Amino acid sequence: FPNLTEDQRAKFDALESLYRDWNSKINVISRKDMGSFYLHHVLHSLAISKMISFSDGATVLDVGTGGGFPGIPLAILFPNVEFTLCDSIGKKIKVVEGVATSLGLKNVKWVNARVETLPQKFDYIVSRGEYLNAKLMAEYLGYTFVDSAEWLVFNYNGKVDFELSYA
C-alpha cells in the first residue's frame, strides 16, 4: 500500500498495541494468533481493497465484525467512506468502540444489534467471519452477492464492474 498518508501509517502502526491491550481484557483474537496480527487480520482485511475501491461517500456495513475486522482496517484505508460495524455481541462492539475512538476514526459507527434489525440500506456489505449468515441475510435484503474465497463483498442497487475469481 504505497500511497498511504502519514496519518494512515500511524493508525496502522497503532493497531497491534491497541488490540493487544483490548485482548488482555476481552478475548477477541486468539492469543496464539497475535504473533501474526498484521498478516492474519489487518492484511487479510485489506485484501478486499485489491478487488474493489469504495467510492468517496459510499456506505459500508461490516456484518459480524467481531473486534472490528475487516471494518477498522478498511476505515483507515478509505477515510472518506462511512463504515458501520455491526455485531450482536456487546463485548465485541465495546472493543470496536475503544479502537475506533483511540484511533480517532470519524468514519466509523458501531452498532450492537442483529443485522436484520438495522433500518438503513448500505452501498456495500462486507464480512469475514459470518460467511453463511451474512450471505443469506444480504441476499434476503436484496443485495447482489460478490464472492471471494476468503471474504464477502455485496453491492446494493448497483453494478459491480468486475468479476472475482477463485485463485
Tens-digit pLDDT profile for residues 79-122: 999 999 999 999 999 999 999 999 999 999 999 998 878 888 78
Closest CA to 76 of 10, 151, 155: 10
Please report which confidence band the pLDDT of residue 134 belongs to, taking 50, 70 and 90 as the band edges. low
Structure letter (DSSP) for residue 42: I
Residue 76 vs residue 144, higher pLDDT: 76
Query: What's the CA angle centered on 80, arms 49 and 39, to 5 degrees?
Result: 35
Kindly state the cell numbers that stand for 130: 459470518
Mean predicted confidence (pLDDT) in 148-158:
42
- Residues whose CB falls within 8 Å of the CB of residue 147, separated by 6 or more in sequence, listed in order: 164
Task: Tell me how far apart the alpha carbons of residues 17 and 95 are, in angstroms, rounded to a whole number.
Answer: 13
Kindly state the cell numbers that stand for 17: 498495541
Q: How far is CA 112 from the centre of its chain?
A: 15
Alpha helices in 33-87 (DSSP H): 37, 44-46, 71-77
- Residues whose CB falls within 8 Å of the CB of residue 17, separated by 6 or more in sequence, listed in order: none
Residue range 18-63, pLDDT digits in tens: 999 999 999 888 888 788 888 888 988 888 888 788 889 998 889 8
pLDDT at position 148 is 43
Residue 156 vs residue 42, higher pLDDT: 42
pLDDT at position 165 is 31
Indicate the residue type of 148. Answer: S
Full-model pTM: 0.82
